[in-house]
């Protein structure tokens, strides 16, 4: 039996910036050895960057 090691996990992440809710209930689980990307439409790069910074602990 093999077990999957989780490299990064966030559950119900909520981030407020001033009077704006930047992240509302983000759930993310990345197994070790996998590559994930945050995709979205044009103009949404700030949200994806913000999500990444909070999940990775950079902010």
What is the DSSP annotation of 1-59?
---PPEEEEEEEEEEEETTEEEEEEEEEEEETT--------TT-HHHHHHHHHHHHT--
Is 38 part of a structural domain of the chain?
Answer: yes
Give the pLDDT score at 7: 84
pTM above 0.85, yes or no: no
Is 1 part of a structural domain of the chain?
Answer: no
Overall number of domains in the chain = 1
> For every one of its 59 residues, what pLDDT tens digit does the chain have, with 9 covering 90 and above?
567 898 888 899 888 878 888 778 989 888 888 887 766 666 565 666 666 676 676 55
Give the pLDDT score at 3: 76
Is 32 part of a structural domain of the chain?
Answer: yes
Domain carrying residue 40 = 6-56
Q: Kindly state the tokens that stand for 27.
A: 């759930």
Give the pLDDT score at 36: 76
Give the pLDDT score at 45: 55
């Amino acid at each position: 039996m093999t077990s999957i090691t989780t490299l990064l996990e966030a559950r119900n992440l909520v981030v407020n910036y001033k009077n704006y809710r930047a992240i509302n209930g983000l759930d993310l689980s990345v197994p070790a050895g996998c590559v994930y990307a945050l995709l979205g439409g044009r103009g949404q790069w700030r949200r994806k960057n913000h999500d990444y910074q909070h999940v990775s602990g950079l902010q």
